[in-house]
Structure 1
Amino acid sequence: MTATPSQPYAPPMEPCAPRPPHRSPRRPRYGALRGTLTLLALPLVAALALPAAFAGGGTRRWFGGRAESQRAEAQAAKDAAAAAFYELDTAQRDLRISIETITAVDDSPAARRVVDGFAALGRRIDEASRQYIDAVDAHDLDRDDLEAPAASRARAQLTAAKDELGRAKLELDRFAEGLGPLLGKAETQLARLAPAVERARQSLLAASRALDTARGTGLRADDLAARLAALAPELTKLNEGAGRHGVPQTLDRAERVTREAEAVRAEAERLPERAAEIGHRLVSLRTRAQALTTRAEQVEPVLSELRRRFTVACWQDLQHVPEQAADTVRQAERKLAEAQTARDEQRWPDATALLSTVRALLNATDDAVSAAGDRLRQLDAVQKDPQQEIERTRFAIRDAQRLAMAGRHTPDPRHARPLDDAVARLERAVATLEGRHPDYWHFLTETEAIRRTVARVVTRIREDRGAGH
């Protein structure tokens, strides 16, 4: 454009960035400094505008190279302070995410101290940010009449603000370095959270499908259905998320739901097999009860033989075996009927418990019935040749005596005394066989007791030598 007398020429106006508005120091925002980035291009724009200003006879005042040099240094200080501010703000934002990660998982005293430390550090950062904003707001580096002293003061204040921001950044970095253990633990738990919740959901789905399959075979599985239904509120809480219920609590809930749902699934899958197994056990125990009834009827002839050939002491503890066996078998048969009813009603735990009771009753009966026949065989053997039992006991005593004397000139009294007593007891037991009606059962029980005593002495000798006595 050409200048005319009626319209004097004016040089083109340079773009001027808006001044950052004053803000609260508690939370600096990026808008206050947006103009700062625009100013990075100003030296180039000013350089391009200088020829036009001088050629057109513009009215802008210039104060020589020193003023412009100070302006440029102040602008560079402003840019450096802005970069430090943004670096600090970014680091604080990243650290806040780490703090939130820790507090979402951890409520320990250590975690609470971290929160308090971060709050104190935030106040320190706010002070440094306030110093920076005040320095930016106090100096307009785009003024035409900016003098060298003012530019120098601006540079000094902006440099001080930048240094303070740097020191705050160093404190922030040191604080972040100390969060390693807590942050690692929190991140580990958060990494486990989603897979744990998903496993719980899949376990519940698998349990539900297994239950449907079992019901498809005609089994009600009411107890399993009730256990599965009880997990529904837990699934609701899992779906509500860790934000409402807490990460540790949600992890524990997910693991518990997974564990219980897996148990329901396993039992539902095994239910048809369990039903068949209970049916087989019913048949087997019923057959065994019938066989024991027949065997119990044979006890009386055995008792008659014992009464005829041996003294009362040899059989008097067996004389009630027939009646006791018959009564126990009747109890077992009643329990079998109850177990059959529980099986028909699909009360599997009740049926299993009743069958265990039946088995215990039949075992006791079997032992009692067998005792009579065993007694007769033992008494027959000792009556025919008592010397075999005597030699068996003497061998046990002599073997213990050799062990007691091994490596010694005289035996330890703690070992010798019970062995000497065993020898005397054996002699007395052998003496009971003399006479017209020897008590063979007493002889057998006494020799058995002697061998148990000798075995205890042998164990004690070996323990003492193992301990270095």
Structure 2
Amino acid sequence: MTATHAQPHARAKASAVRDVLTLMLLPVPLVVAALPAAFAGGGTRRWFGGRGESQRADAQAAKDAAAAAFYELDTAQRDLRISIETITAVDSSPGARRAVEGFAALGQRIDEVSHGYIEAVDAHDLDRDDLEPSAASRARNELTKAKDELIRVKGDLDRFEQGLGPLLDKAETQLARLAPAVERARQALLAASNALDAVRASGLRADDLAARLAALGPDLTKLNQGAGQHGVAETLQRADRVLRDAEAVRAEAAQLPERAQEIDRRLVSLRTRAQALTTRAGTVEPVLSELRRRFAAACWQDLQQVPDHAATSVHQAEEKLKEAGKAREEQRWADATSLLSTARALLNGTDEAVSAAGDRLRRLNAVSKDPQQEIDRTRFAIRDAQRLAMTGRNTPEPRHARPLDQSVARLDRAVAALEGRHPDYWHFLTETEAVRHTVARVVSEIREERGAGHGG
């Protein structure tokens, strides 16, 4: 090899050695960064030394931090949107509407800062070989600013989400109730249907219960369509209503056989009672005859119409019982129950009127033989009240003494009225009874006042 040819070869060899030494002296991160390009065999990068690459790395770090902030904000917004949708699915209150409005306002701010971040990323290609240090510095600043804005809005979003706690808890509670409530409603409908089938199998039609159960069909259809179509709150209300109505049908169906038996028992009992009252009403006329013979007209005039009224009332009761029997045969349970109640009221009134005639004769017989017993009973009640009124006092309260004094005078007048040739013993009995009622009222007032700490 000639010298002429040897010199270029030496120069090339020395250049290669310098390149190797240069690579060995570079900082490790940049060596690592340079190796892929070197081995790839494609293109070369213009190196700016340690300061330039450091600015590129700072810009890249700012870009990565901004990307992380953007991801966190996007994730938080997605999670919050689910919370808002949960609330709006259940709650239509003013508080829920304000939450939706607040989320929409936050969404506008998120769009603004996200747009700023994307512009900052698009404006700077940090992988360019000819990236100037000033461009890298500008990229770092803009990306850091975008990151700070993203973090600031993320903080606002977090605070807003914390304020949704009560609304979200309420909504989640209702959503948790939804499936069990719908299932309970379905089960109640099934139980009602089974109870109705059992009743029909026993020979009872229960048409009214069947109609009530059928009326729940549209509600069941809507429950099956789901809350997505009809709303959570409305579905919960419908499920509760179906549960309540179906349970009522089931309970009434279960009680229907017993109800039918009770109506049968009442029909027999009231028919027997009507027959007995017809017999008893026949005794009123002899009682009235004795009253007329032995006592003044004032003692029995008010009983004159009892026989006619008793006969009429018993007849009306018997007609109601016939109607009730027909309603029972037709399984019109409500009508049968109502008619039985009417018949019972008529018979009760008749019983009282018939009993009153016999009781009148008994009391008049007793007082005509010995009025003193009634007088003593009444005077004892007055004296007992007077002693109570004087207990712990030198003089009684006028509001207590006055009615007691009037009662004494009233009793004296009633006793004096017995001295006539045909005394009105019934008037005497009603007067003594009225006096005892007045005295009892005064005694009750005194005890109430002293029990409350008033008066002595």
TM-score (norm 1): 0.87
Q: Distance in 1 between matches of 2:444 and 2:144?
A: 89
**Deviation digits for residues 337-392 of structure 1, max 9, x if unmatched?**
11111111111111111111111111111111111111111112212221121111
Distance 1:57 1:357, change over 3 A: closer
Inter-partner Cα distance in structure 1 for 2:76 and 2:40: 49
Cα deviation, 1:11-64, whole Å, max 9, x if unaligned, reads xxxxxxxxxxxxxxxxxxxxxxxxxxxxxxxx9797165287299796332111
Candidates 143, 146, 151, aligned match of 2:128: 143
SS of 2:252's equivalent in the other structure is helix
Write the distance in 2 (CA, Å) between the matches of 1:292 and 1:449. 31
- Residue 173 of structure 1 aligns with which residue? 158
Give the CA deviation at 1:115: 0.9
Equivalents in 2 of 1:377, 1:45: separation in Å? Answer: 129
Is 1:414 aligned with 2:399? yes
Name the structure 2 match of 1:84: 69
Partner of 2:131, secondary structure, is coil
Work out which of the residue numbers 107, 128, 132 in structure 1 matches 2:92.
Answer: 107
Matched, 1:364 2:358: no
**Higher mean displacement: 312-321 or 364-373:** 312-321
1:152 to 120, 123, 137: 137
Q: How many residues align?
A: 427
Superposed counterparts of 1:420-431, under 5 Å: 420-431=405-416
Which residue type is aligned with residue 309 of structure 1? R
Of 148, 160, 179, which residue of structure 2 is paired with 1:194? 179
Change (3 A) 1:72 1:437: same
Letter in structure 1 aligned against 2:298? A
AA aligned opposite 1:318: L
For 2:41 and 2:435, the matched residues in 1 are separated by 134
The superposition leaves residues 202-227 of structure 1 with CA deviations (integer Å, 9 ceiling, x where unpaired) of 11111111111111111111111111
1:23-42 map, 5 Å: none
- Equivalent in the alignment of 1:94: 79
Q: Which residue of 2 aligns with 1:300?
A: 285
* Amino acid of the structure 2 residue aligned with 1:289: A
**Cα separation, 2, equivalents of 1:450 and 1:247:** 68
How do 1:243-392 residues align onto structure 2 when only pairs under 5 Å count?
Answer: 243-392=228-377
* Match of residue 381, structure 2, among 373, 392, 396: 396
Distance 1:151 1:439, change over 3 A: same
- Counterpart check, 1:127 vs 2:146: no
Alignment partners' CA distance in 1, 2:40 and 2:124: 30
1:468 aligns with 2:447: no
- Aligned AA (2:370): D
SS in 2 for 1:197: helix
Question: Would the alpha carbon gap of residues 57 and 426 (structure 1) be closer, same or farther in structure 2, given more than 3 Å must change?
Answer: closer
Q: Which structure 2 residue ranges, 5 or more long, are not aligned? A: 1-27
Deviation at 1:282, TM superposition (A): 0.8
5+ residue gaps, structure 1, are 1-42
One-letter amino acid of the counterpart of residue 246, structure 1: G
- Distance, in Å, in 2 between the alignment partners of 1:52 and 1:263 is 83
**Percent of pairs with identical residues:** 79
Return the letter of the residue paired with 1:141: L
393-402 vs 257-266, which moves further:
393-402
Correspondence 1:200-219 to 2 at 5 A: 200-219=185-204
TM-score by length of structure 2 reads: 0.90
RMSD: 1.9
Q: In the aligned structure 2, how far is the partner of 1:66 from the partner of 1:54?
A: 24
* Counterpart secondary structure, 1:433: helix
Q: Which residue number corresponds to residue 449 of structure 1?
A: 434
- For 1:61, the equivalent position in structure 2 comes to 46
Query: What is the identity, as a one-letter code, of the residue corresponding to 1:262?
Result: E
Conserved? CA contact 2:291–2:361, under 8 Å: yes
1:117 aligns with 2:129: no
In structure 2, C-alpha distance between the alignment counterparts of 1:354 and 1:51, rounded to whole Å: 104
Change (3 A) 1:56 1:133: closer
CA distance in 1, matches of 2:453, 2:100: 58
Letter of the 1:128 partner, please give it.
Answer: V
More helix by share: 2
Which of the pair has more CA radius of gyration? 2
For 1:154-198, what per-residue CA distance to the aligned partner results, in whole angstroms no more than 9, with x for missing partners?
A: 111111111111100110011111111111111122111211111
The 2-side partners of 1:224 and 1:404 are apart by 63
